[in-house]
A = this chain, B = another copy of it.
């Protein structure tokens, strides 16, 4: 069999497995325990076993995972869709809490995991690791898997929790990748105050520049769609342009070594705020669902692959002399993840509660526990970062790197399957009001799908009335978020909408 026809066979098998995942995932959706990610993982594991047996123990996978493939093709649609479908109003209302969880929280978690690993790994005697490796481990295991968790939280019943976990997940994704890249590039051989400051300056400018790039591309897209297509609409052209410009924003950020994740997330937010309102109704429906579908397929693809790849003999081969070490490393990492997450959820929730006036906006103990639990799972981002760091150019052949890869896979599998299975019952126990399994639209629950419709109900005149009295400086101190929102609305209406379009500005199509 030549290489080309082998490739065709691999693609055919993968397409068939993806179909199976979607169908089985749908069938099992109402189950008490299981969710889409676990289904895909288990199908991947099962297929891996079959391939392992039929190939006589040679290989367990049909396509080799390259981390470029993940970062160039699979991650952008997921993050873009997250930005596109996010309930902007709620996201920006909880902006301070979300970004403190997502940025400061991730940094705390990163510090604890790195420090803990530096202390505990030498006891295991797994081989020599540099400071850089420990820092990278911290970044790798600070990346939560929000995608998986969101399938069990219901945004209508626990809106605050929902926006916290979702928002944190997105900012966390970006933070951990930016952190990881900063560590990889940074020279940590001599660390002093200057280099530390430089590091954080670098980190901060990456954040700001990436965000600005995303906003810029989103605005350009809105402008083009508004000027070109109004009066002479072409649904296919509009949809194609939105998809391509979103992708362009991501890939441009990567070219300039910014964070593509942050860029494409903010590009999604800006597109849904301006460009989406300038297109035909068909384009609106199509973009909503096409983006969600692409993201959905990418997610299923990742979990399927992770399941299949976790049996890869080559990696396990290097640890089979001392499997105990790999197990212990995984246990240490899991414990550090749990401590690291608790270490920022409790203090930051307290801080957040201080700024909230009404008691039903506060984050209670049960909620804090739920947020903590919901962020324990580790997923595709961790796997991809671990591959980037510890494989490639023959690195896997060093036992310590192979061990870290297998430990990462173990942590991801264990947290996704075991924690994932326990999540639905735990949430039902803690928050009896919520009924995660019986939501009305199964797949579209997590902020996604119909997101726009809800969003606009909230975005409407109602808020204008509430805030129509001019805010003073005193008020700004008292309720900063509302005041900022008020100024933003004024600016948006006066300057932005006339140029870039937006709801009700060009064609009241909705």
Contact = CB atoms under 8 A, between A and B. Distances in A.
A236 B443 contact: yes
A232 interface: yes
A317 interface: no
Contacts of A224: 23
Contacts of A293: 235-236, 239-240, 243, 286, 290
A283 interface: yes
A19 B248 contact: yes
A244 B19 contact: yes
Interface string A273-316: 00000000011011011101100110010000000000000000
Given A15-B251, A248-B12, A255-B8, A442 B234 contact: yes
Interface residues of A, number: 57
A254 B12 contact: yes
Interface majority SS (helix, strand, loop, mixed), chain A: helix
Contact of A236 (B7, B248, B292): B292
A26 interface: yes
Given A229-B26, A290-B286, A244 B7 contact: no
Interface in A1-16: 4-5, 7-9, 11-12, 15-16
A68 interface: yes
Nearest to A392: B4
B286 A232 contact: no
B251 A12 contact: yes
A40 B60 CA distance: 43
A7 B286 contact: no
Nearest to A232: B442
A468 to B, nearest CB: 36
B234 A15 contact: no
Nearest to A220: B19
A290 B285 CA distance: 10
A449 interface: yes
A252 B443 CA distance: 28
Among A23, A229, A233, max chain B CB count under 10 A is at A23
A374 interface: no
20 contacts: A7-B72, A8-B72, A8-B254, A8-B255, A11-B251, A12-B254, A22-B240, A234-B443, A235-B289, A235-B292, A235-B443, A236-B444, A236-B449, A237-B443, A239-B290, A244-B297, A282-B289, A285-B286, A286-B293, A290-B293
